[in-house]
Each structure stands twice: as structure tokens, then as C-alpha cells.
Amino acid sequence: LRHFSSTGFWGLVNNAGISTFGETGWLSMETYEKFADVNLLGSIRTTLEFLPLLRKYKGRIVFMSSIIAYFTLGNGIYSMTKAAIEKFCDALRLEMKKFGVQVCIIQPGNYARSTRIQPPVSAEEIWSELSEEEKAVYNKEYVQERADFFNSILSEGSTNGHEVVDAMVDALTSPAPKARYMVAKLKEKALVFVCALFPTVVMDSVLSYALSK
């Protein structure tokens, strides 16, 4: 409150996020709770705290989501939290219209090399942390293949992080901001298009093929 300008409290950007790699049974319940706490509940806690000021000054709320909200390739825990935050935003956007508060979602593609949100995956570390039950189902070769696949995705990430920042700035300052800003490569947008409009069996086939490669 001491640092308010004449415009009051104009914008809130919920940007905090963490990422990791691992199939569903490889991750502990504590890991799921940590990810939900940071990626989902963290944004909700911050939003609720500032909501009175945002309503008073007809401000903006910007959330960092991801195209991974639509599909997953080895990081389902991250996808889960981004899909959840999207639905929270959809409800909030409709509810805030009557107060003149606008809610925007940023949906970046692969910017892993810009943000370094996800370090390279170590198959040895993954294997050492697996339960005995999981080790009985999978083998080291499989874990190594999945780790190599995920690391190859990380290495393809864009270094043009300013593109995402530009979208955030537009969401905060444009007279008519978009509800969603998808900042991604053409092939990433195409994947989202297939996921959104085609039957699930089609998307499953596409992703299964990608994983098999």
C-alpha cells in the first residue's frame, strides 16, 4: 500500500512454477503435494490475498500456464497443475467481469533453455529413487530411454524468452488484452489443435508414436 502509484494496484502476475520428469508411479505423494502447492495453490493463495485491491482498482491478473496443460510427454505432474490453473482462471475470468477485472493466461511452448525450469534428467538418479515395486516393473534401459527422450525435448527449447515476457506485458497494458496468449512454435500449436479438436484416441496415437521414437 505504501508503494502505490496514482493508478493503485494495477496488476498481479502469478509466475512461480516448478517442473520435473517422471512417470506417474515414479513420483512420491510428497512430490505431488509440493507441485500442487507451488504451481496451483501458490497462485490461488496470492490471488485471493490481492483480490480486494484488484476489484477496487479494476486491475489485471495474469497467470503463467503452458501448452502442456493440453497434453503430456513425460511430465504429467506439471501438466496436471497447469490444467488445474487453467480451469481456476476460466472460473475467475467470468466472475471478475462484473468488477472490470480482466484475467489473462499465458501459454508458453517449450522455453526450457530460457527459463531453466527443468534441469537435464539423470537416469541414474531416477533409478536410485524408484521404489522396489517400480523397479520390478521397469528396467534401467527403459528409464534411460525415457530420460534421453525428455532431455532431447529440453535441448530443443527456445532461447527467446523475451517472447513470453512480451505477452505478459501486453496482458498487463493492452486496452483489450486476450484471455489466452499462446506463445509457441507452429508445430506446438498444431499439437494443441489436434489435442483440442480430435478424438482422444487420435491424440494418444500421436503421443504414443512420439514416445516410441
213: pLDDT strictly greater than 80: no
Question: Is-contact 158 114, C-beta < 8 A?
Answer: yes
* pTM of the full structure: 0.90
- Phi/psi for 205 (5° steps) reads -65, -45
- Enumerate the active-site residues: 78
Distance between CA atoms of residues 52 and 47, nearest Å = 9
Average pLDDT over every residue of 99-106: 97
Query: In sequence order, which residues have a C-beta less than 8 Å from that of residue 131 and are 6 or more positions away?
Result: none
List, for residues 105-116, the tens digit of each pLDDT value.
999 999 988 988
DSSP string, 47-76: HHHHHHHHHHHT-EEEEE--GGGT--SS-H
Q: What pLDDT shows up at residue 210?
A: 76
103: pLDDT strictly greater than 90: yes
Structural domains in the chain plus CATH codes:
11-186 (3.40.50.720)
Q: What pLDDT shows up at residue 117?
A: 86
3: pLDDT strictly greater than 90: no
Question: Is-contact 31 77, C-beta < 8 A?
Answer: yes
| Sign of the alpha-carbon torsion through 58, 59, 64, 66 | positive
Distance between CA atoms of residues 80 and 68, nearest Å = 9
Question: Is-contact 182 107, C-beta < 8 A?
Answer: yes
Min mean pLDDT across 73-77, 97-101, 135-139, 164-168 is at 73-77
Q: How confident is the model at residue 31 (pLDDT cuts 50, 70, 90)?
A: very high
Q: What pLDDT shows up at residue 208?
A: 84
Distance between CA atoms of residues 34 and 213, nearest Å = 31
Q: What pLDDT shows up at residue 157?
A: 86
139: pLDDT strictly greater than 70: yes
Question: Is-contact 58 100, C-beta < 8 A?
Answer: yes
Q: How confident is the model at residue 119 (pLDDT cuts 50, 70, 90)?
A: confident
Q: How confident is the model at residue 212 (pLDDT cuts 50, 70, 90)?
A: confident
| Sign of the alpha-carbon torsion through 195, 199, 202, 208 | positive
| Grid cell of 178 as nine digits | 486476450
